[in-house]
Structure 1
């Protein structure tokens, strides 16, 4: 019998391994990390349990989609920089293509899609965000101090509904965390099973800072639509702490508040994203393909996708050489505790606006959302099945109402 680990030492082999995961990994970031562990630690033995846990810890420390960043790091470990790109491409491509096709379908065949079905996708987003909020609050806000910080950030986000207000909230939360929160003491761990020179890491970090600060300046001088789209999605990918669902308020501020994408299409796309395998950040491909600019369509979808994931590559490769030092710094750990509480507050604000306000208009909407939440949290139905059920339920309700009228 051939060794299953023989082919996956090359970028093409890494791509095939992650393509399989990208086609079958339903259930969100936590489930993705479980799939990675089963396939790459238990079965293929790419690295040890402790090494995998350390990679997960590194990626949870960084802004961006943790499961995708773990995949990038695993690909980097296995086949260098080309392996990192191959791992990301394989894991991301299936859902990204599906989301861009969905955006094109709404744009060109919206009259053929039942209005009730699209409304059902908006309603299921209420249940999905509520479930994510509950799970994140239990894990990241376990005490009165962090609950208070969560509520404060939610109020600020609702009061100052802009990307600037959200970034300011996270910065203040980090400062409060440094001053008032006390991190737990962890036992010493073995070094991570990856090695990059600090000079290379510093180069990647400098490129990240240059792009984060330079792109907005470049846009003011050269406001080409494609560059504007790339800048907006790059900033979102640079500032999202806490996982895929937290991207919702930042993206809403960038594309809905600016009029690039309508709120109905935004929520319908977010609902459809729950039915897809792979990373939730491929929602950016849907939004990029939906943007009413010359960069829209396939070009806009690819721009949004590349831009929102670009910070993940730069940060993983930039921070990795310094991770051993950073994770021992208790002030950094305390700041991260504050940031984590802040992102739960941002998600709480997003649950109200735009998710609740855009979807719950009638008692039957609330009933459908409650059923969807029960199906996800208590009946443990797969998310894609709940999404399909809500789409069908919305279509049936709309049909019954039209007949009654």
Structure 2
């Protein structure tokens, strides 16, 4: 009897979780266009078509995901899955949305050497130019929304200048901390109040406290564990976990943090790194799945599928833990002007961080002759004025430069 009761209680949750997985797998196969486009797809699918969340709850969950570090669209999917089917639903939402892009970009890491030999290096150069155009477009969009006004613009410019002169992970962390401090001090009045809709639902305080504790433990403990064990795989997990825990501002901001950690350590050369990032723009799903390419292609820790799996799990795990840990307290936290001001300051610094990455390594490695500058301008026009989808620009420029070089 007891076993039947347990089965009756858990069967709906399993069915709902499977439904969540299939719904987000469809998004992972079809959601092209980057984080902003993903949010639009999610709203149409889960608010309008399926009715899993209300319009107000969707807006409130989106505000939470923009407040937290990590990929906003993936976190939004996790939050919707959490509301629909609990912790298992959050995991199914993440796996379904991430799996197609992760498998495709990891397969490219295997195929890239053979393709370079068969097709020449021209297509890789086209990928780098397309990546530069995508980053430039993201920078201009983010600057118009996150670096408005003299204080925010000054913070962005100062962060960009400082990081160009003194790059590295420590400098990036210091810039983010300084941005939070300046925002807390000067941007409280600029941060608008959040909507009043309640999205958190029932509070599972034990799960929330455990998630926050695990988040902090892994952030502090993984580097120590990698050092003690002298394990390249633990070191790889530490780098990607730290990157996922510190990325404010969306998917494109993963570029400077990963470039500093991976290329700066000599784990992967800058040309391959940028080519993989460019190829990622042609795929649906979250940009953070780019971790699969880096994990598979880097040459220090075990690469291939094992490296890709460790990199992908490590870079997304902080987002899952933060959604689980912060969602129950979001309604209280979002009403604090200091918290919103600190977030505004961090977002302004993120614009500077992306600008520094646009200069080095993106432009310094993609633009090697005057004709590359013309190609970059053309790709930017296709993206911003003609409004071609990023995947089409990426595929077109890779094919065009490959044929031209051949």
User: Which structure 2 residues correspond to residues 1-400 of structure 1 after superposition, within 5 A?
Assistant: 10-181=16-187, 182-186=189-193, 189-399=196-406
The CA distance in 2 between the partners of 1:293 and 1:41, in whole Å, is 44
The CA distance in 2 between the partners of 1:394 and 1:281, in whole Å, is 26
Deviation for aligned residue 1:188: 5.3
Does the Cα contact within 8 Å between 2:28 and 2:284 map onto a contact in 1? yes
Does the Cα contact within 8 Å between 2:200 and 2:330 map onto a contact in 1? no
The CA distance in 2 between the partners of 1:371 and 1:194, in whole Å, is 48
Q: Runs of 4+ in structure 1 displaced over 6 angstroms?
A: none
The CA distance in 1 between the partners of 2:115 and 2:195, in whole Å, is 57
Unpaired runs of at least 5, structure 2: 1-11
Deviation for aligned residue 1:199: 2.9
The CA distance in 1 between the partners of 2:110 and 2:248, in whole Å, is 30
The CA distance in 2 between the partners of 1:90 and 1:200, in whole Å, is 23
TM-score, normalised to structure 1, is: 0.95
Superposition RMSD in Å: 1.4
The CA distance in 2 between the partners of 1:178 and 1:193, in whole Å, is 25
Quick check: 384-393 or 239-248, which moved more?
384-393
Quick check: 31-40 or 105-114, which moved more?
105-114
Deviation for aligned residue 1:110: 3.1
Deviation for aligned residue 1:214: 0.8
The CA distance in 1 between the partners of 2:261 and 2:138, in whole Å, is 22
Deviation for aligned residue 1:338: 0.3
The CA distance in 1 between the partners of 2:53 and 2:192, in whole Å, is 25
TM-score, normalised to structure 2, is: 0.95
Quick check: 229-238 or 386-395, which moved more?
386-395
Deviation for aligned residue 1:392: 1.5
Deviation for aligned residue 1:299: 0.3
Quick check: 62-71 or 384-393, which moved more?
384-393
The CA distance in 1 between the partners of 2:16 and 2:231, in whole Å, is 38
Can you list the C-alpha shifts for 1:161-206, whole angstroms capped at 9, x where unaligned?
1011001000001101111112344265121153232232111101
Can you list the C-alpha shifts for 1:81-114, whole angstroms capped at 9, x where unaligned?
1111111111000000000000001144431232
CA change 1:386–1:327 in 2 (3 A) is: same
Quick check: 199-208 or 162-171, which moved more?
199-208
Unpaired runs of at least 5, structure 1: 1-5, 400-405
Quick check: 288-297 or 319-328, which moved more?
288-297
Quick check: 112-121 or 303-312, which moved more?
112-121
CA change 1:7–1:203 in 2 (3 A) is: closer
CA change 1:299–1:113 in 2 (3 A) is: farther
Can you list the C-alpha shifts for 1:49-82, whole angstroms capped at 9, x where unaligned?
0000000000000000000000001111111111
Q: Residue in 2 aligned with 1:3? A: none
CA change 1:365–1:83 in 2 (3 A) is: same
Q: What SS does structure 2 have at the residue aligned with 1:54?
A: helix
Can you list the C-alpha shifts for 1:291-345, whole angstroms capped at 9, x where unaligned?
1134101100011000000000100000111111110000011100100000000
Can you list the C-alpha shifts for 1:237-272, whole angstroms capped at 9, x where unaligned?
000000000010000011101111111100000000
Deviation for aligned residue 1:218: 1.1
Q: How many residues align?
A: 394
Q: What SS does structure 2 have at the residue aligned with 1:233?
A: helix
